[in-house]
C-alpha cells in the first residue's frame, strides 16, 4: 500500500505546510488513539524535543487522543530513545515523539513507538492513515481521556542510561565535552556523564525554541571538535536534536563517525563474548567497516538506509548490534532503538576497560575514501531517474572500472527531493572523479 502521510520515520515537514499543522495533528492523535487502543482506552505517552512548535503539536495530540478516549502522560522535553524506554517500562499503549530530529527548528514531525518500545509496523501505520481519512468523532464525556504530566520521566531515563554499563567502573579523571545540540538531551546527557564520575563541559545546552541543531550537535560537530581541543578534553560527544544519534571526537579533536563507533563497540562486545551474530549496517556504511569486521571474524549485513531497517534485520535474526554512519547505533542488548547516550556510554566503557584513548580504539578501522553527491531532482520523479538507461549505464561503467575495490550506490533521499550518488574506493581522487561522472549523467537527464 502506498503511504499517504507516513514516511520512513513518521510524518515530518515544514511547520505550517503540508500535514505539519495543528488541524492535521489533532486528527492524527485521534486516529492513532482509535487504532492503537482498539477501543479499550489505555494510555499514550507524549514527549518532544525543544522546538517552539512542540508546544502547539503537543496540545493538538493531547486533544485528539482525549477525544478518542485515551489517557495521556505528558513527558515534556525528552530524547526519542527515552520515550521508547518509558513507553515500554510504564506499560503504555504507545509513545509519541514530537521531533524533526537533526532538522532545523522550522521543521517538525510526529513518530510513534508501540507498547514494546519499537517503531510501529507498516501495517499499523496504514491503519492509522485509513482512520485519518474518516470523519472525526468524540467519545462520550464520561469516556474522554485524561492528561497528566509525568514529573519523574527525566530521572527514570537517566538511571536507565547509567544501568547500561557496569556501575562499579570509575570514570573519575576523564574529561569530556558533551554537545546537546540545544535539543532534547540538554537536561539529561550532562547529568548522565557527570553521575558516572566524568568531568563534563556542556555545550549546546541552552535551548530557546529556535536554536535546535543550529551550529551544534551530531550533524555539525565542528563546535565540539574545537571545544575538545581548547579544553584539553579526553573526548567529545555530540548528540542530535532528539538524542538518537551520536558522533564523537577523539583526544586530537578528530571526528569519529557512526561507522567507527560501531567498530569500537563491536570489538568490545566480541572481546567480552557479548556479540551475537552479525553486525548490521546500511548501503551507506563505509567499506572499511566491513573489512575491519571481517578481519575480526565478524559478519556484516547491509540493509536499506534507515534505522528501522537495521532494527528489523536485528530482530529477525536475533542479533544485537547495528548502526549507520550518521550515528544511529542500536545496541539491542541494552535497548530497543537507536540511543545516542547509551551508545556513547558503551564507547566510554571500552575506554575505561582498556585504558586506551578513543583515537587508539578507532585505529583498527581504516575508512575507505567516499564521495557523496546530492543531485536535486527539481520537478523530476526519483523513480524515473533511477530507471533511466543512461544513468544505469553510467553506474555499470563505474562498477566495472572499480572491480572489487569499490562500491557504487545510487538512491533517492527518503526525506528530500534528491538523488544521492555515492562512490567508495581505495583512492580518493578516483572516487571523486567517478562520483562526479555519474552525477553529471543524472543531471543531464533532468528536465529544464
| Per-residue confidence (pLDDT) for residue 430, from 0 to 100 | 93
Question: Where are the CATH 3.40.120.10 domain residues in the chain?
Answer: 11-151, 157-362
* Confidence label for 8 from pLDDT (cuts 50, 70 and 90): confident
pLDDT for res 178: 98
SS3 178: strand
Q: How many helices (H) and strands (E) does the chain have?
A: 15, 18
In the predicted structure, residue 2 carries a pLDDT above the cut 70: no
Say how far apart CA 322 and CA 264 lie, in whole Å. 12
User: How many percent of the chain have pLDDT more than 90?
Assistant: 86
Average pLDDT over residues 294-320: 94
Fold assignment, 157-362: Alpha-D-Glucose-1,6-Bisphosphate; Chain A, domain 3 (3.40.120)
**Least confidently predicted of 8-12, 173-177, 253-257, 339-343:** 8-12
**Which residues of the chain are in CATH 3.30.310.50 domains?**
370-444
Pairing label, strands 235-239, 11-14:
unpaired
71-122 pLDDT, tens digit per residue, is 999 999 999 999 999 999 999 999 999 999 999 999 999 999 999 999 888 8
Give the C-alpha separation, 159 to 7, whole Å.
32
Please give the model's pTM, rounded to 2 decimal places: 0.91
pLDDT tens per residue across span 60-75: 999 999 999 999 999 9
CA 333 to chain centre: 18
Please provide residue 248's backbone torsions phi and psi, each rounded to the nearest 5 degrees.
-120, 170
Average pLDDT score over the chain: 95
CATH 3.30.830.10 fits 370-444, yes or no: no
Q: Mind telling me the catalytic residues?
A: 101
184 closest CA partner among 46, 70, 365: 46
**Helix/strand/coil for 411:** strand
Distance CA 244, CA 102 (A): 9
How far lies 319's CA from each of 171, 184, 275, 299, 376, in Å?
29, 29, 8, 11, 37
Strand order in the sheet with 321-323: 300-303, 279-282, 321-323, 329-331
The number of angstroms, rounded, from the C-alpha of 447 to the middle of its chain's C-alpha atoms is: 34
Rounded distance between C-alpha atoms, residue 295 and residue 106, angstroms: 45
**Which tens digit of pLDDT belongs to each residue from 380-405?**
989 999 999 999 999 999 999 887 77
Q: How many CB atoms lie within 10 A of CB 239?
A: 33
pLDDT in tens, 28-43: 999 999 999 887 889 9
Question: What does the block give as the cell for 204?
Answer: 549546546
Locate 35 and state its grid cell: 487504532
Q: Which CATH number fits domain 11-151: 3.40.120.10, 3.50.50.60, 3.90.110.10, 3.20.20.70?
A: 3.40.120.10
120/35 Cα distance (integer angstroms) = 12
Q: Which residues pair with 418 in a beta bridge?
A: 376
Cβ atoms of 161 and 86 closer than 8 Å: no
Residue 356 pLDDT: 97
Amino acid at each position: 500500500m502506498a503511504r499517504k502521510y507516513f514516511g520512513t520515520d513518521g510524518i515530518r515537514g515544514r511547520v505550517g505546510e503540508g500535514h505539519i499543522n495543528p488541524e492535521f495533528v489533532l486528527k492524527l492523535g485521534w486516529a492513532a488513539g482509535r487504532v492503537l487502543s482498539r477501543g479499550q482506552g489505555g494510555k499514550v505517552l507524549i514527549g518532544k524535543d525543544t522546538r517552539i512548535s512542540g508546544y502547539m503539536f503537543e496540545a493538538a495530540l493531547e486533544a485528539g487522543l482525549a477525544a478518542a478516549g485515551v489517557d495521556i502522560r505528558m513527558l515534556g522535553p525528552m530524547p526519542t530513545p527515552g520515550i521508547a524506554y518509558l513507553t515500554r517500562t510504564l506499560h503504555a499503549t504507545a509513545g509519541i515523539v514530537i521531533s524533526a530530529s537533526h532538522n532545523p527548528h522550522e521543521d517538525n514531525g510526529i513518530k510513534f513507538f508501540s507498547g514494546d518500545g519499537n517503531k510501529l509496523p507498516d501495517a499499523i501505520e496504514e491503519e492509522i492513515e485509513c482512520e485519518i481519512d474518516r470523519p472525526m468523532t468524540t467519545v462520550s464525556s464520561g469516556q474522554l481521556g485524561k492528561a497528566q504530566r509525568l514529573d519523574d520521566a527525566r530521572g527514570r531515563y537517566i538511571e536507565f542510561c547509567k544501568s547500561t554499563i557496569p556501575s562499579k567502573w570509575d570514570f573519575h579523571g576523564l574529561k569530556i565535552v558533551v554537545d546537546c545540540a540545544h535539543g532534547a538531551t540538554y537536561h539529561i546527557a550532562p547529568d548522565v556523564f557527570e553521575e558516572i564520575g566524568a568531568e563534563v563541559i556542556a555545550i549546546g545546552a541552552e535551548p530557546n525554541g529556535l536554536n535546535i541543531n543550529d551550529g551544534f550537535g551530531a550533524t555539525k560537530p565542528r563546535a565540539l571538535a574545537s571545544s575538545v581541543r581548547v579544553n584539553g578534553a579526553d573526548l567529545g560527544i555530540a548528540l542530535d536534536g532528539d538524542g538518537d544519534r551520536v558522533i564523537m571526537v577523539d583526544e586530537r579533536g578528530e571526528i569519529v563517525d557512526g561507522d567507527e563507533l560501531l567498530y569500537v563497540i563491536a570489538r568490545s562486545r566480541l572481546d567480552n563474548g557479548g556479540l551475537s551474530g552479525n553486525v548490521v549496517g546500511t548501503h551507506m556504511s563505509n567499506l572499511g567497516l566491513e573489512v575491519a569486521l571481517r578481519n575480526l571474524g565478524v559478519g556484516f549485513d547491509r540493509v536499506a538506509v534507515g534505522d528501522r531497517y537495521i532494527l528489523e534485520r536485528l530482530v529477525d535474526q536475533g542479533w544485537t548490534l547495528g548502526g549507520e554512519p550518521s550515528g544511529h547505533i542500536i545496541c539491542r542488548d541494552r535497548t530497543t532503538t537507536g540511543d545516542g547516550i547509551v551508545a556513547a556510554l558503551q564507547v566510554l566503557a571500552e575506554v575505561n576497560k582498556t585504558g586506551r584513548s578513543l583515537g587508539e580504539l578507532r585505529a583498527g578501522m581504516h575508512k575507505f575514501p567516499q564521495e557523496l553527491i546530492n543531485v536535486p531532482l527539481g520537478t523530476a520523479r526519483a523513480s524515473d531517474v533511477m530507471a533511466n538507461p543512461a544513468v544505469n549505464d553510467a553506474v555499470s561503467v563505474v562498477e566495472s572500472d572499480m572491480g572489487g575495490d569499490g562500491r557504487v550506490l545510487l538512491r533517492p533521499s527518503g526525506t528530500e527531493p534528491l538523488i544521492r550518488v555515492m562512490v567508495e574506493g581505495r583512492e580518493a581522487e578516483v572516487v571523486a572523479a567517478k562520483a562526479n561522472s555519474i552525477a553529471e549523467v543524472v543531471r543531464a537527464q533532468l528536465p529544464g
